[in-house]
Structure 1
Amino acid sequence: MAVNSSTRFAPPLHRTLPSRLPLAFFSQALSRPGFFTETPSPRLVSVRSQKPGPDGFGSRKSVSLEESEAWIGSSGSHSSSSSAIDFLTLCHSLKTTKRKGWINHGIKGPESIADHMYRMSLMALIAADLPGVNRERCIKIAIVHDMAEAIVGDITPSDGVPKEEKSRREQAALNEMCEVLGGGMRAEEIKELWQEYENNSSLEANLVKDFDKVEMILQALEYEAEHGKVLDEFFLSTAGKFQTEIGKSWAAEINSRRKSRLENRRN
């Protein structure tokens, strides 16, 4: 969560999560109960054969269950499923870790990291089309951009961690998470999306960076109304930093609503 930076540097954070087992739990020491201990009885799964049609698709032959299971086994399906569940279990902390900026400002029951990323994904979904911008990629970047916080937590400027050190920690955490996922194409995609956002190296990254700030000030506006607070810091820290027309337009609308609300309070 980005707010005005502090000039002091605090010692490296050592975040303790008693509710989460160490990563070794996922990658090495995980003891899983055995599933499918009984050998299934042979069955035949029939697929109707078809002659080649205008679309070029040819006929399909009947495939037995044994043949299907042999193919699944050779593709490492059990290992892949196990890695996927390990990865998703690790991501659970994104749902339960509260965004620190709100905690620091005394907001009770604030949003989680996953809450923040979800509404950013909705922003990418409903935003108007922009030339050269891939909407699906924006949604993916929004989902991935804070994923490393499942391990390192929400590091804010008030923690005094230099930007380079924050990036290093998050990169290491993301690599570790991708190892839990088992590597492969999806893990590489996650790394690529995260790095693209981190480097602000594409039109999609520019837009999602704006969504990150827009979501934060929209949440600040909502918390001001709900808790009777004035959260100037979040609006000041984002002023003049939007890169896209959509980001500027949405931020202007939020600031306009905030101005009206504050004026009504004074009257």
Structure 2
Amino acid sequence: MALVVENKKILEFLELVGRLKHVKRTGWVICDINECETIAGHMYRMGIMTFLLTEENNPTKLDRFRCLQIALIHDLAECIVGDLTPHCGVSPEEKHRREDEAMKTIAELTGIAGDRMYDLYKEYENQTSPEAKFAKDLDRYDMILQAFEYEKRENAPKKLEEFFQATYGKFNHPFIQGLATELYKQREEFEKKTLVNGST
């Protein structure tokens, strides 16, 4: 009987997580981006980026599996509270309180596995490990990469500049710094090319 109850809770958890496949990221909705990414899409690409850590670009020997776990957990609370941004009229303290409560609810549904997820969430929120700091870099980098993809799709250079301004100088890991530099370069080239073609 206990196993049946446990499975019932796990199914409830999985249905909650499933919401993330359909909830659009608030920042893009506010900017009127059509067919914008979902929260799950954002976390998925972050997770994939952890596989790009190699012996050559990971001199501090970050635990890649831990980075992956944090990437997949960091926005998990949003399956209950939604994607809260500074534009939502919710203070940072209230946002943190709501997300913490949501993660506790998730932990209760999944037992020991949930305790692990809650610990990883707190590690990320408090930035208490090199892996959590790397995941923060991934979070910011995926955001500006997505912004650039939308600018190219809509042929609208600099349309989403606010997302770049919010992240300039905040990347810490050398690997992500290098990716950011390449992205800035391509974005400048895109702007010049668009201006030359007279599309703006």
Q: Matches of 1:207 and 1:190 in 2, distance apart?
A: 17
The residue aligned with 1:98 is 24
Is residue 2:70 matched to residue 1:141?
yes
Structure number with larger C-alpha Rg: 1
The aligned residue for residue 114 of structure 1 is 40
Is the helix fraction higher in 1 or 2? 2
Amino acid at match of 1:241: K
User: How far apart are the structure 2 equivalents of 1:243 and 1:164?
Assistant: 25
- 2:123 aligned residue: 196
> Structure 2 CA distance, aligned partners of 1:255 and 1:127?
21
The answer to whether the 8 Å contact 2:71/2:135 transfers is yes
Paired residue type of 2:131 = E
Root-mean-square deviation over aligned CA pairs = 1.3
1:213 is aligned to 140
Using the alignment, how far apart are the partners of 1:248 and 1:160 within structure 2? 32
Q: How does 1:1-150 map to 2 (within 5 A)?
A: 76-129=2-55, 130=58, 131-150=60-79
Find the partner of 1:154 among 83, 87, 91. Answer: 83
Contact 2:73–2:117 (CA under 8 A) maintained in structure 1: yes
CA distance in 1, matches of 2:126, 2:182: 28
Whole-angstrom distance in 1 between the partners of 2:170 and 2:89: 21
Q: Which residue of 2 aligns with 1:265?
A: 194
Verify: 1:255 aligned to 2:181, yes or no.
Answer: no
Which residue of 2 is the match for residue 187 of structure 1? 114
Output one character per residue of 1:248-267: Cα deviation in whole Å (capped at 9) or x when no partner.
11111111111111111111
Q: Deviations over 1:62-88 (max 9, x none)?
A: xxxxxxxxxxx7xx4333322221100
Determine which of 156, 178, 182 is the counterpart of 2:107: 178
Q: Supply the AA of the counterpart residue of 2:43.
A: M
Q: Counterpart amino acid of 1:160?
A: G
Q: How far off is 1:235 after superposition? A: 0.6
Q: Which residue number in structure 1 is paired with residue 164 of structure 2?
A: 235
Aligned residue number for residue 168 of structure 1: 97
Once superposed, which parts of structure 1, at least 4 consecutive aligned residues long, lie more than 4 Å away? none
Contact 1:107–1:227 under 8 Å retained in 2: no
How far off is 1:228 after superposition? 2.5
Q: Is 2:171 the partner of 1:245?
A: no
Higher relative contact order (CA 8 A, sep 6+): 1
Return the alpha-carbon distance in structure 1 between the equivalents of residues 129 and 44 of structure 2.
Answer: 21
Give, in angstroms, the shift of residue 180 of structure 1: 2.3
Structure 1 residue ranges without an equivalent (≥5): 1-72
Q: Which amino acid aligns with 1:200?
A: Q
